[in-house]
């Protein structure tokens, strides 16, 4: 019964799990228990998904471009929901900044001389914050993003298995 | 001269075969020769090859041990006439498939004034191959530092590359090239500029080239991360594979969150506490009482939640019981220990309390 695998408490996995479990309990506590209608489930699904992304992004803090971009996106979304005026304001300024930086970088990204621009663009759309990265950084971020996504999937799978025995 | 002696040796070696089996034999010969060359000071222009070898000596020796480079060294020995016959060597190696990258040391190896063009070309080819070998080495040894040219050397190398560029002819064939352009290039102590043939050789393209190499290194890392990418060759396909993988991971996250949302919430509440009890039990070595007692507590809480949900929708009041529960969670060792080390004991615990729930209801 003893736990043979002692996890590094500061690892990405454990950080993510703590946050995500906390968020899950919050979400479950908010909703009435008997709700099983599709709309309720859908709403909860959205919240859980946001919680998963948020906890992952928070676990990585701002060390990575993608996590920063994701946190910004989540925050602006929540601001927009709470207070439309402030959300618009912050959204505008931030979007302006992003657009400017993306314009600056479009020249660099369009012809790297490397020859896979379409795939790079697709990757940029997948990885949060990818529009403002040159190819070199994009590949870096993709690697880290893949690693984090894999951790996320592992933990969520375990939780789901645990719940749905 | 030493180089002549080396040349004769190499000639004999060359005639043996062009297969890889000669490589070891040749390498033996060459290391001696190379050591001699290295120890000899770079006095004359002709021994620019030795000058070349002075600085990154150990690395070059290491490189020379690889079979391809050995063949290249064969070709690049300064003696002219001997190697006219061995011209086809580089094409035999099949290493010159890409179009050349020239490294500077090809230029240096060619600097005997009395050379004809052909050995220059061979040495160029060989240096191209050597350059490739050089390039593969840093990827493995991660010792790319000596291969990066200093800025001062770089400028000189740039000039030399410009001159080399003027030298026409394909890299694969050994066409005679002009002497003069390569002659000036001797004095440079070291080498290394990787300029692609036919491309600009200014510092911008050098930086671009460095960038490209960085990108390639990262692509390799990504290939290792994404399963099934190792067999694919061609960066566009690898990128497609990576994109598919990221998309599938994102879809998995969505699917899992959907299934988490659809799980029956009543059981969930208890399972949350079961996490804590689980962690408690695992940490204590499986005490049943610790497993049972938290069970009573969440049932009470659940009823309390129900009432609160019916009467109040204020978030603050809802928070209180949640915080209460979370405090209990935090008292135990963090739940993820149990979660992540999930094994059959968790299953038994969960079934235990699901049964208890049913009994209570």
* pLDDT tens by residue, A23-46: 888 887 776 655 667 887 788 888
Query: Which residue of chain B is at minimal alpha-carbon distance from A51?
Result: B257
Q: What is this model's ipTM?
A: 0.81
Report the alpha-carbon distance of residue A52 to residue A58 in Å, rounded.
10
pLDDT on residue B10: 45
- Nearest Cα to Cα of residue A24 among B256, B338, B353: B256
Does residue A21 surpass a pLDDT of 70?
Answer: yes
Does residue A155 surpass a pLDDT of 80?
Answer: yes
Report the alpha-carbon distance of residue B323 to residue B257 in Å, rounded.
23
- Whether residue B102 contacts residue B195, with contact meaning beta carbons closer than 8 Å, is answered with yes
Distance to chain B for A98, nearest Cα, Å: 23
Name the residue among B266, B315, B341 with its Cβ closest to that of A33: B266
- Which residues on A lie below 8 Å from B226 (Cβ)? 146
pLDDT on residue B112: 45
Q: Is B359 on the interface with A (CB under 8 A)?
A: no
* Helix spans in chain B (H): 2-16, 21-39, 48-54, 57-64, 67-76, 88-93, 104-109, 117-141, 151-166, 180-183, 203-225, 235-262, 265-284, 288-311, 315-331, 335-340, 344-360
Angle at B67 between CA B61 and CA B2, to 5 degrees: 50
pLDDT on residue A1: 53
- Which residues on A lie below 8 Å from B335 (Cβ)? 17-18, 21
Most confident of A21-30, A58-67, A105-114, A141-150: A141-150
pLDDT on residue A68: 87
Query: Which residue of chain A is at minimal alpha-carbon distance from B266?
Result: A33
- For residue B136 the two structure tokens come to 């593969």
pLDDT on residue B247: 92
**Percent share of chain A, pLDDT over 70:** 72
Report the alpha-carbon distance of residue B284 to residue B291 in Å, rounded.
11
Q: Which residues of chain B are modeled with pLDDT < 50?
A: 1-24, 41-54, 56-57, 60-61, 63, 68-155, 157-158, 161-162, 164-185, 266, 268-358, 360-361
CB contact under 8 A, A162 and B350: yes
Does residue A77 surpass a pLDDT of 50?
Answer: yes
Q: Which residue has the higher pLDDT, A138 or A112?
A: A138
Query: Which residue of chain A is at minimal alpha-carbon distance from B253?
Result: A153
- For residue A14 the two structure tokens come to 């454990």
Query: Which residue of chain B is at minimal alpha-carbon distance from A148?
Result: B249
Residue in the block written with tokens 């410009």: B162
Residue in the block written with tokens 């990504």: B222
pLDDT on residue A140: 87
pLDDT on residue B195: 59
Give whole-number Cα distances, A72 to A6, A65, A68, A152, B122, in Å.
Answer: 33, 11, 6, 19, 58
- Which residues in chain B (192-211) have CB-CB distances under 8 A to chain A? 208, 211
**B330-335 contacts at long range (C-beta below 8 A, 24 or more positions apart):** B331/B276, B332/B276, B332/B277, B332/B279, B332/B280, B332/B283, B333/B279, B333/B280, B333/B283, B334/A9, B334/A14, B334/A18, B334/B279, B335/A17, B335/A18, B335/A21, B335/B275, B335/B276, B335/B278, B335/B279
Report the alpha-carbon distance of residue B111 to residue B294 in Å, rounded.
86
Domains, chain B, in order of start with CATH, read 202-263 (4.10.280)
Please tell me the pTM assigned to this model: 0.46
CB contact under 8 A, B341 and A9: no
- For residue B131 the two structure tokens come to 């350059």
Report the alpha-carbon distance of residue A75 to residue B225 in Å, rounded.
30
- Which residues on B lie below 8 Å from A162 (Cβ)? 271, 275, 339, 342, 346, 350
Does residue A150 surpass a pLDDT of 80?
Answer: yes
DSSP-assigned letter for residue B195: E
CB contact under 8 A, A14 and B257: no
DSSP-assigned letter for residue B234: S
């Amino acid at each position: 019964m003893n736990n043979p695998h002692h996890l590094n408490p500061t690892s990405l996995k454990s950080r993510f799990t703590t946050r995500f479990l906390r968020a899950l309990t919050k979400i479950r506590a908010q909703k009435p228990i008997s709700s099983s209608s599709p709309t309720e489930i859908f709403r909860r699904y959205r919240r859980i998904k946001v919680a998963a992304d948020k906890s992952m992004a928070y676990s990585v803090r701002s060390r990575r471009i993608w996590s920063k971009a994701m946190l910004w996106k989540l925050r602006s979304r929540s601001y927009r929901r709470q207070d439309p005026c402030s959300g618009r304001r912050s959204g505008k300024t931030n979007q302006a900044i992003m657009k400017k930086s993306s314009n600056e970088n479009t020249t660099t990204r369009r012809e790297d001389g490397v020859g896979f621009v379409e795939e790079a663009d697709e990757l940029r759309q997948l990885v949060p914050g990818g529009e403002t990265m040159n190819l070199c950084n994009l590949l870096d971020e993709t690697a880290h993003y893949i690693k984090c996504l894999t951790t996320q999937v592992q933990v969520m799978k375990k939780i789901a298995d645990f719940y749905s025995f | 001269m030493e180089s002549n002696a080396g040349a004769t040796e190499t000639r004999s070696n060359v005639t043996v075969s062009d297969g890889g089996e000669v490589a070891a034999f040749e390498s033996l010969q060459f290391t001696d020769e190379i050591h001699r060359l290295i120890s000899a000071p770079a006095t004359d222009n002709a021994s620019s090859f030795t000058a070349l070898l002075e600085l990154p000596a150990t690395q070059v020796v290491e490189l020379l041990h690889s079979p391809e480079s050995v063949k290249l060294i064969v070709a690049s020995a300064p003696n002219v006439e001997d190697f006219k016959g061995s011209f086809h060597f580089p094409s035999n190696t099949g290493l010159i498939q890409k179009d050349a990258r020239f490294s500077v040391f090809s230029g240096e190896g060619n600097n005997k004034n009395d050379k004809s063009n052909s050995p220059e070309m061979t040495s160029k080819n060989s240096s191209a191959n050597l350059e490739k070998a050089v390039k593969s080495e840093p990827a493995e040894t991660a010792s790319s530092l000596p291969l990066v040219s200093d800025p001062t050397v770089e400028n000189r190398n740039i000039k030399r590359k410009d001159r080399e560029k003027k030298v026409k002819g394909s890299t694969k064939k050994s066409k005679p090239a002009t002497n003069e352009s390569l002659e000036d290039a001797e004095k440079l102590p070291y080498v290394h500029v990787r300029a692609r043939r036919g491309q600009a050789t200014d510092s911008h393209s050098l930086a671009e080239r460095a960038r490209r190499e960085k990108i390639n290194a990262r692509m390799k890392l990504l290939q290792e991360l994404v399963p099934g990418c190792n067999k694919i060759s061609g960066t566009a396909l690898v990128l497609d594979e990576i994109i598919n993988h990221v998309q599938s991971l994102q879809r998995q996250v969505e699917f899992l969150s959907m299934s988490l949302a659809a799980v029956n919430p009543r059981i969930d509440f208890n399972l949350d506490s079961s996490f804590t009890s689980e962690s408690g039990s695992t940490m204590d070595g499986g005490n049943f009482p610790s497993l049972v007692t938290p069970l009573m507590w969440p049932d009470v809480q659940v009823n309390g939640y129900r009432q609160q949900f019916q009467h109040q929708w204020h978030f603050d009041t809802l928070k209180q019981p949640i915080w209460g529960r979370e405090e209990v969670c935090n008292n135990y060792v963090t739940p993820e220990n149990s979660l992540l080390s999930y094994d059959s004991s968790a299953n038994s615990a969960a079934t235990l309390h699901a049964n208890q729930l049913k009994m209570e209801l």
